[in-house]
């Protein structure tokens, strides 16, 4: 049961870190060239949603690789 809790905490922290990294990376992009609307709040919301989707996807990829590498070790026991 504790292993499940530790795995959940690691997954949650991984998701938050990768969402934060992707948000910081997306802040560098000049979105005003792409999005010509005058409402900056909608643009900030768009960047937040894109960073959540990107961060979650990258985090899930790395957590999947981590899980698969643990299972491969079991193959050779």
Domain definitions of the chain by residue range = 2-75
Range list of H helices, 1-77: 2-26, 40-75
How many Å apart are CA 51 and CA 18, to the nearest integer? 9
Distances (CA, A) of 22 to 2, 11, 44, 69, 72: 30, 16, 14, 25, 29
How many Å apart are CA 75 and CA 5, to the nearest integer? 25
Q: What is the pLDDT of residues 45-76, one digit of tens each?
A: 999 999 999 999 999 999 999 889 988 988 88
Distances (CA, A) of 29 to 42, 43, 50, 60, 77: 16, 12, 12, 24, 48
pTM over 0.85, yes/no: no
pLDDT higher than 80, residue 2: no
What integer pLDDT is reported at residue 5 of this predicted model? 87
Instruction: Indicate the pLDDT class of residue 30, thresholds 50, 70 and 90.
Output: confident
């Amino acid at each position: 049961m504790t292993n499940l809790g530790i795995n959940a905490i690691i997954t949650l922290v991984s998701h938050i870190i990768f969402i934060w990294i992707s948000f910081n990376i997306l802040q560098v992009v000049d979105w005003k060239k792409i999005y010509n609307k005058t409402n900056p709040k909608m643009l900030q919301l768009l960047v937040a949603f894109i960073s959540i989707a990107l961060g979650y996807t990258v985090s899930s990829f790395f957590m999947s690789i981590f899980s698969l590498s643990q299972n491969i070790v079991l193959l050779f026991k």
